[in-house]
Structure 1
C-alpha cells in the first residue's frame, strides 16, 4: 500500500471515529435544549435526573467497557456500545412515563462511556508517528461539531418536538456503528482471560451512587434521606468491589496496575478538567450580569456575547487537543500536560482580573479551552503509555471516568462557594464569592501542574507505547 493510499485511509478512519464520538453530544448536550419540554411531558420537577442519568450511567458503563474492549477487541466493543446507546435512544423515544425514560437514559450512557475506546483503538492500530496527533484530532473533533450542533437541534426540535432529539441520536448511533464495523479493522492487541461482570457491576453502580449524591444533593439537600441512602449504598458497593478485586485473579480493574504515575495522571485529569468545567460554569453565571449593575463583576454585553463566551472555549478545546496530540509525539504527553496546566493558570489569573471586562474575559475563556483540550488528549495519551497494551482499555476507561468525576466535584465546590458568599438577603453571587471561586480553581490548576511536572521527571519509567 502506497503512502498516499495509507494516508487517505487514516484520514477516513479518523473521520469515522469523530462521528462516533459526536454521538455523545446527542446524548448529553442536545437533551439540555429540551429539558423543560421533557419535564412537562413526564410531569416531573426533577429535571436534573432527566439529563444527569445518562452522564452518571456513562461512569457506570466505563469500567465494564474498558475490560471487555481489552479482552474482545476495541472495534467490536465500540460497535456494541454505539448500538446499545442507539437502543437507549429508541427507548427514550417511545417512553410512556419517566421510569421507562430514565431506563433509556441509563442504556444511552453506554455511548457516553465508550469515547475512550476510540483513543485506545488509535494507539493500537495507527502508526506510532501519527498516533498521539490522531488522538488529539478525534477527541477534539467533536468539539468543532459541537459548535454547530445546538443550532441544528434547535431547528429540529422546533419543527418536530423534543422527541426528535432521540430520533437523531438513534440514527447517528446506527450510522456510526455501521461505519466502524464495515470500514475499520479490529485492533491487534487482546488481553487473555475473562471479564469480571459482577465486579464491573459493583464498581459501576458504586460510582454511580456516589456521583448521584454529589450531583443532586445541592438542589435536593445534602441531608435528603433518599440521597443519603443512595450515597451509603454506593459506598458499600465500592467497598465490596475493593474486597472482591483483591481476591479475584482477573478483576475488572487490577489495583496493581494503579502505579504512582498512573494515579498521578488520574489526579491531574480530575483537577484540570474539574477546574476548567467549574470556570466554564462560572462564566455562564456571571455572563448574565451586566458590569453596570455595580456588583463588582459582570460580563453581559451586546447580543450574542454569551454565545461567544462559550464558542471560544469550544474552539480552544479543539485547537488545544490537536496541538497537545502533535506536541505529545515530540516532547512527550507528560510535558504537554504540564504546559496545559500552566496555560490554565495564566488564563485563570486573566479571568480573575477581568470579571467585569467582556473581551479580556472572553479571550481568557478561549485559553481555558486550550487547557481543556490538552488535559483530555494528554491524559489519554499519557495514561496509555504507562501500562502494557493489554491494559490500555482499562486505564483509558479510568481517565474517562475521572473526566466526569472532576467536572461533578469541582462544579459542586464552586457552587458551594458562591452560595456561602452570596449577597445577604438573596442568592446573587457576591464579588468576593466570584473571586474566591476563581482562586480555588487556580489552586486546582497549580496542584495539577506540580503533579504533571513530577510525572514528566519520571517519564523514563513508563512502559513503551
Structure 2
C-alpha cells in the first residue's frame, strides 16, 4: 500500500467552489478546541481559592478533560464514519460550547469538573476535520490542508496561553470560558453554513460493547498514569488501576478481533504503515509535551535559584506564542515535502528537527531568547511531523474508516502527552534542590527531561524507518464506497 494519500472520489474534478472556506473553517474549529485546552492553565494554581476546594480535588478540572477526550475521540471518530463526519463535528462543537457555558457559570468544584469534561468530549474535532477534508478536497490540495488542520492543535495552544494569561490577570476568570463559548459558537455557525456533509459512510451498527470496553480500559490506564504521583506509584490504587487497564484492554482486543463490526478494526491497525505511524505518534506526543512541562517552570522559578528566570505567566505565554506561528508556516513546508518525497520522509525529518531542538535546549537554558529559540525549533519539527501523520494514516485505510483511524492516531498522541507528564513529574520530583526550605526541581532535572524528550523524538525517527517506502506515483484512484441510502437522500 502506498503511503501517498489515496485520491478521493472528487479528486478527478477541480476543487469545488468554497473549498478554501471549508479548510479555513475546519482549521478554525481545531484552533478553538486547542484554545479550550489552554485557557485553564493560568488559573490552575488559583483554582483551590476560586472554587473553595483542596488542590487535590481541583486537579480534576484538568484530569476530567483528559479522560473525556481519550474516551470520546475514538468513539466519535467511528460514529462520524457511520453517520456523517460533519454531523459528529457539529455535536462535538455543541458539547464544547455547552461545557464552556457550564464553566463560565461555575463557582464551585462539581460544575467546573462537569463543564471541563464536556469540553473534553470535543477533542475529536481535529481528526473529524481531517477526515472531512479527505472526502471534500481534490488530492493535490489534501496534503497542505490536512497539515494545517493537524497543526491547528499546536497553533491554538501557543496563541491561547498569552491571551488566557492576560485575561486572568486583568479580568474576572469566568471571562475565559465565556470567550471559549463565543469562539465555539462562531465555529459552529461557520460549519453549518460552509462545510458540506460527506457522502462516504460506513453504515452498519455501532459497537457499544467495544466502546464501553475501550472506555473502561483507557480510563483505568490514564487514571493510573495521571494520578500516580498523587496516590503513589506503588499504591494499591495505582497498581490496581494499571493491572485492570492491562486486563481490560487485552480482553477488549480479543473481543474486537471477533466482532463483525468492531469499534476499531485491529486488523487495519496492525498494518505496518498504520502500526508504526501510531507508535511514532506516541513518541512524538511525549516529545512535544516534555517541552511544555519544562519551559514554563524555568521561566517562572525565582532568579535566586541561579537558573530560574523569574518571569510571569504572561511572559511564559509570549515566549511560547511564536511556536504557534512557526508550526503554521512549517505545515505548508511539510505539505511540499510530502508531495515531493512522501509523508514518511516528512515524518522522519520533523522528528530529527524536534530532537535537535531538545539538544539545543540542554545548552541554552539561561536566557529568555534561548527558550524562544528552543520552542521555535521544536515547533518547526512538530509542524513537519503533525502534518505527515494524517497523510500516512489516510494512505493506508479505506475511506470509510478515515474518521476512526485519524481519531485513534490522535488518541496515540494524547497517550504520549500523558506519559510525558507522568515521567517528567517523577524526574523533577526526584531531582530537586533546597530553596529556603522548599524542594524545587533542580537544573539538572530540567536538563534530564529535555534529554528524554530528545530521546523520544529519536525513537519516533527510528519507528518511522519501519514504515513502508512509497512506490512510484500512481494515478489510479483508491476504491471509493457507494454513498449510503441516507447520504444519497
TM-score, normalised relative to structure 2: 0.84
Distance 1:169 1:292 in 2: 37
Partner of 2:255: 244
Supply the distance in 2 between the matched residues of 1:302 and 1:20 (Cα, whole angstroms): 29
Distance 1:286 1:152, change over 3 A: closer
Match of 2:285 in 1: 273
Deviation at 1:24, TM superposition (A): 1.4
Unaligned runs of 5+ in 1: none
CA contact 1:385–1:464 (8 Å) conserved in 2: no
Match 2:51 to one of 42, 62, 82: 42
CA RMSD in angstroms comes to 3.1
After superposition, the C-alpha distances for 1:86-122 in whole angstroms (9 at most, x for unaligned) are 2233333445743343233222222123321001111
Single out whichever of 65-74 and 102-111 deviates more from structure 2. Answer: 102-111
1:221 aligned to 2:232? yes
Aligned partner (choices 24, 29, 36) of residue 33 of structure 2 = 24
Matched, 1:451 2:460: no
Greater displacement, 207-216 / 160-169: 160-169
Contact 1:143–1:315 (8 Å) recurs in 2 = no
| 1:134 alignment partner, one of 145, 152, 158 | 145
SS at match of 2:465: helix
TM superposition shift of 1:245: 1.2
Which residue of the partner structure matches residue 190 of structure 2?
179
The reply to whether residue 437 of structure 1 matches residue 449 of structure 2 is yes
Counterpart of 1:412 (choices 388, 411, 422) is 422
Distance 1:36 1:356 in 2: 25
Aligned CA distance change for structure 1 residues 172 and 355 (closer, same or farther; 3 Å) = closer
The answer to whether the aligner puts 1:62 opposite 2:106 as a matched pair is no
- The structure with higher relative contact order (CA 8 Å, sep 6+) is 2
> TM-score of the superposition, structure 1-length normalised?
0.88
How far the C-alpha of 1:231 sits from its partner, in A, is: 4.0
Superposed CA offset, 1:341-376 (max 9, x none): 111122222112223354344322211001122222
Partner SS, residue 122 of structure 2:
helix
Query: Tell me, what secondary structure is at the counterpart of 2:441?
Result: coil
1:375 to 2:375 alignment: no
Aligned to 1:428: 440
Cα distance in structure 2, aligned partners of 1:80 and 1:459: 39
Q: Which moved more, 1:153-162 or 1:398-407?
A: 153-162
Residues 461, 274 of structure 1: CA spacing in aligned structure 2 closer, same or farther, 3 A cutoff?
A: farther
Q: Answer whether contact 1:300 1:358 (CA < 8 A) is retained.
A: no
Query: Could you tell me how far apart the structure 2 residues matched to 1:124 and 1:325 are?
Result: 18
CA distance in structure 2 between the aligned counterparts of 1:158 and 1:364, rounded to whole angstroms:
26
Return the alpha-carbon distance in structure 2 between the equivalents of residues 69 and 87 of structure 1. Answer: 20
Partners of 1:302 and 1:392 in 2: how far apart?
42
For 1:337 and 1:102, the matched residues in 2 are separated by 36
> Unaligned stretches of 5+ in structure 2?
1-13, 479-489
1-structure distance, mates of 2:382, 2:198: 28
Determine the C-alpha separation between the residues in 2 that align with 1:55 and 1:291: 33
1:36, 1:47 within 8 Å by CA — same for their partners in 2? Answer: no
Please give the alpha-carbon distance, in whole angstroms, between the structure 2 residues aligned to 1:345 and 1:380: 21
Query: 1:435 and 1:411 mapped to 2: Cα distance?
Result: 15
Q: How does 1:302-381 map to 2 (within 5 A)?
A: 306-381=316-391
Q: How many residues align?
A: 459
Q: Which residue of 1 aligns with 2:5?
A: none
Find the counterpart in structure 1 of residue 482 from structure 2.
none
